[in-house]
Amino acid sequence: MATPDPETIARPLGSSDIGLMRDLLRMFGRAFDDTPTYTAAQPDDAYLAHLLGSDTFIAVAALQGEGEVVVGGLAAYVLPKFERVRSEVYLYDLAVADTHRRRGIATALIAELRRIAAARGAWVVFVQADYGDDPAVALYTKLGTREDVMHFDIAVE
């Protein structure tokens, strides 16, 4: 496994990290080739501060250098369970800038998410990957157990 650049750190974002969250959103837009979704209608600062300070959302940014340039990141949701007193963490988005891939940054981001999940009492982190996204499938296969499931989007009226 590649080791991340020593100047790159994976750091959780808190309610005061609005600027870094906006940088993370822009990086997601570029990485997913879907800039409008991640930048055209961003929430206001109060919404982002509330989200970043909540117990049910986790954002981790891979930051490089003293200027804290966002070169990767993830967004995850904590899902409290009803059948036991525990939770699961759903890794919703993970991306690394094209210029910084294959350096172990995604693995470092997931390691930080696992640390946060354990501190919050979660018993598992789960993530979906699309067929054909071979780099993601390889990463998640290296880190976890694969389960083939179906996913359905049910529209809300």
Q: Show me where the domains of the chain are located.
A: 8-143
**Amino acid, single-letter form, for residue 143:** L
Quote the CA–CA distance of 59 and 76 in Å, as a whole number: 6
**Amino acid, single-letter form, for residue 106:** A
Residues 83-96 pLDDT 10s: 998 899 999 999 99
Query: With 70 as the cut, is the pLDDT of residue 5 above it?
Result: no
Give the CATH fold of the 8-143 domain. Answer: Aminopeptidase (3.40.630)
Q: What is the pTM (predicted TM-score) of this model?
A: 0.86
- Chain-centroid distance of CA 29 in Å reads 13
Residues 52-108 pLDDT 10s: 999 999 999 999 987 789 999 999 999 999 999 889 999 999 999 998 988 889 999
